C-alpha cells in the first residue's frame, strides 16, 4: 500500500511534566503539549482517509519519506541540489522523532500496535521537497 499525506512532517515532542494540587497533596503529572496534540490530530485525520478496512495483523515493513521544506534563505544553487536529492536535510527534526510521531499516529489505523513494524524499507529517510509531505509505503510480510 502506498499513499502521500500533504502535511509538513513534524517530530514527536517530549512529554511535559507539571504538578497538580489535590487538596493538601501535590502530584506530579505528565501530559502532551497542546501543539503536539494538534499536529497528531491533523495527521490522524489525513491517515483516516487512507486506512484499510481493518488494521493489519502480523509483521510489517514501513517506508517513510519525510519531505521537509527547503529553507527560503538558501541560494538557488542549494535549492536545485536539494530538489534533485544531492543534498539531504541534516537539521532538526531528527529521523527517529519523525518516525515515532508517524508510527504513533498510525496505531489503530494501519496496525494494531507499532511493535508490528519489524523493519524499514530502503527509501525511509529525510528529503527536501515541495510541497512538504509524507510519502508512505506499508508492506505486510
pLDDT at 37 over 90: no
pLDDT over 80 (residue 18): no
Q: What pLDDT does residue 36 have?
A: 82
Instruction: For the chain, give the mean pLDDT.
Output: 91
Structure confidence at residue 95 (pLDDT): 95
- Answer yes or no: is pLDDT of 85 > 80: yes
Confidence at 16, pLDDT banded by 50, 70, 90: low
pLDDT at 32: 72
Confidence of residue 94 (pLDDT cuts 50, 70, 90): very high
Distance from the Cα of residue 98 to its chain's centroid: 4
| Domain ranges, ordered by start, for the chain | 2-140
**Sequence-ordered strand ranges (E) for 2-132:** 2-5, 16-22, 25-31, 60-68, 117-120, 125-128
Mean pLDDT of 14-25: 76
Indicate yes or no: pTM above 0.75: yes
Mind giving me the DSSP string for 112-126? S-GGGEEEE-TT-EE
pLDDT bracket for residue 31 (50, 70, 90): low
CATH superfamily of the 2-140 domain: Holliday junction resolvase RusA (3.30.1330.70)
Amino acid at each position: 500500500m502506498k499513499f502521500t499525506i500533504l502535511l509538513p512532517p513534524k517530530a514527536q515532542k517530549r512529554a511535559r511534566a507539571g504538578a497538580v494540587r489535590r487538596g493538601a497533596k501535590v502530584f506530579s503529572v505528565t501530559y502532551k503539549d497542546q501543539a503536539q496534540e494538534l499536529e497528531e490530530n491533523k495527521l490522524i485525520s489525513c491517515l483516516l482517509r487512507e486506512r484499510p478496512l481493518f488494521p493489519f495483523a502480523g509483521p510489517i515493513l514501513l517506508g517513510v519519506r519525510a519531505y521537509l521544506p527547503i529553507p527560503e534563505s538558501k541560494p538557488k544553487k542549494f535549492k536545485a541540489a536539494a530538489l534533485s536529492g544531492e543534498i539531504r536535510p541534516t537539521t532538526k527534526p531528527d529521523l527517529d522523532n519523525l518516525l515515532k510521531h508517524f508510527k504513533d499516529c498510525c496505531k489503530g489505523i494501519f496496525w494494531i500496535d507499532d511493535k508490528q513494524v519489524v523493519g524499514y524499507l530502503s527509501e525511509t529517510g529525510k528529503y527536501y521537497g515541495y510541497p512538504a509531505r509524507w510519502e508512505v509505503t506499508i508492506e505486510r510480510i
